[in-house]
Amino acid sequence: MLKSPIASDEEIAHELHGELIADGLIKIVTESMALSKERLNCSALAEVDLEPMLGEQTPFESLLAIDTETTGLSGGSGTVAFNIGFAYMREGEVEVTQYVLTKYSGEKAMLEEVSALISQCEALVTYNGKSFDVPLLVTRFRMQRKRAPFVGLPHIDLLHPTRALFSKRWRDCRLTTVEREALGFERQDDLPGFLVPAAWADFLKTRNAKHLAPVIEHNRNDVVTLLALIAKHARIHAGEIDADVDALALSRVFKRRGQRAKSLQLLESQSHRLNPKGELELARELKHHGRVADAIEIWSRLAEEAVPEAIECCAKYHEHTSKDLVTALRYAEALIATCGRRTPHLHRKERLSRKLTSW
């Protein structure tokens, strides 16, 4: 009985819709024509203004999304990226370039290609890339005794801003969850991340391209989603706030950047959706901008709902601004009733009582 011959690398490349560009290295290029239009509206992407988010003029074409699939998840020098995917915009279209190893010996050539691609971009986009993908690639470059091309390159790791804005809303911030909830795209038969190392092991044993195909598809979806996701974030920064966005978290991002007016504007426009914590922040910002009357309106309302910080703010306002000491004392006592006999609260009550009796 004839054993079926082991596939050659060229045959594997062909089956994966790619090309063998060096010994042990396959390159697969996918143009956006092959991607679903609902998912990725290319013309809309080209119009995305990244400045609100990144703080400077950055053409969308200069971004490079990157994601790796590895032989293990523990890090360390024994972990190899056998599949590296890139997504970027070129001439108004989204294009995906992926590299896949058929042999470990193809790594050197792969890293050369990676280096060349990265040197042409102005910023990297990843998901958890700061902790995983980039350190891993740095390790691979060092193992090959080559300088890694990441020094000084801006790196936008979307995991952190995504968590900041959405983690309260969704069960988790895994990329497929983000994809489904924020981008409206549900993958079919996606290979889960933890099965990727096993797929590589199976391929090594059998040299059958069918083990690699789902990995490559998974990787392709990942990098395309990164581009869609950064666009989504950019739009949020420009003011397109939907129900899932944690407005308070976003306002804090603006505030940290010194964009306090923007932070206030956001909170005001979203005030109907803020919880007490968010409303307190809004009141704080209103006060900072001198709109004390608007602030006290919020505090009074929240004080009715027994929110301690609001009660305290009311006490302070009536003591120092409206000079209505009777009301101030009422709030001071309410604060003690709500929070217990804490020293500063007791001092305030005592101080107000003294002031009132001395009249």
Residues that bind other proteins (CB under 8 A): 71-78, 80, 103-105, 135, 138-139, 142-143, 197-198, 200-201, 204-205
Burial of 130 (0-12, 13-18, 19+ CB in 10 A): middle
> Which residues neighbour 167 within 8 Å (Cβ) at sequence distance 6 or greater?
173, 246
SS3 192: coil
CB of 291 to other proteins, least distance (A): 40
CB of 10 to other proteins, least distance (A): 18
SS3 202: helix
The smaller minimum CB distance to other proteins, of residues 198 and 337, is found at: 198
The smaller minimum CB distance to other proteins, of residues 2 and 151, is found at: 151
The smaller minimum CB distance to other proteins, of residues 194 and 359, is found at: 194
CB of 252 to other proteins, least distance (A): 22
CB of 204 to other proteins, least distance (A): 5
The smaller minimum CB distance to other proteins, of residues 58 and 71, is found at: 71
CB of 73 to other proteins, least distance (A): 7
The smaller minimum CB distance to other proteins, of residues 30 and 102, is found at: 102
Identify whether the C-beta of residue 303 lies closer than 8 Å to the C-beta of residue 331. Answer: yes
The smaller minimum CB distance to other proteins, of residues 105 and 271, is found at: 105
164-167 own/partner pairs: CB under 8 Å, 24+ apart: 164/246, 164/249, 164/250, 164/253, 165/233, 165/236, 165/245, 165/246, 165/249, 165/250, 166/244, 166/245, 166/246, 167/246
Residue type, 231: A
| Calpha distance 117→101 (Å, rounded) | 17
Q: Where are the alpha helices (DSSP H) in the chain?
A: 9-15, 42-47, 51-54, 107-119, 134-143, 159-166, 175-183, 196-206, 213-237, 247-256, 260-269, 276-288, 292-304, 308-320, 325-339, 343-357
The smaller minimum CB distance to other proteins, of residues 82 and 299, is found at: 82
CB of 77 to other proteins, least distance (A): 5
Would you state the structure tokens that stand for residue 125, as one six-digit string? 């986009």
Q: Which residues pair with 69 in a beta bridge?
A: 83
Q: Which residues pair with 99 in a beta bridge?
A: 27, 84
The smaller minimum CB distance to other proteins, of residues 58 and 219, is found at: 219
Would you state the structure tokens that stand for residue 303, as one six-digit string? 């004080």
| Calpha distance 159→127 (Å, rounded) | 5
CB of 15 to other proteins, least distance (A): 21
Dihedral of CA atoms 240, 246, 248, 250 in degrees, nearest 10, equals -50
CB of 65 to other proteins, least distance (A): 24
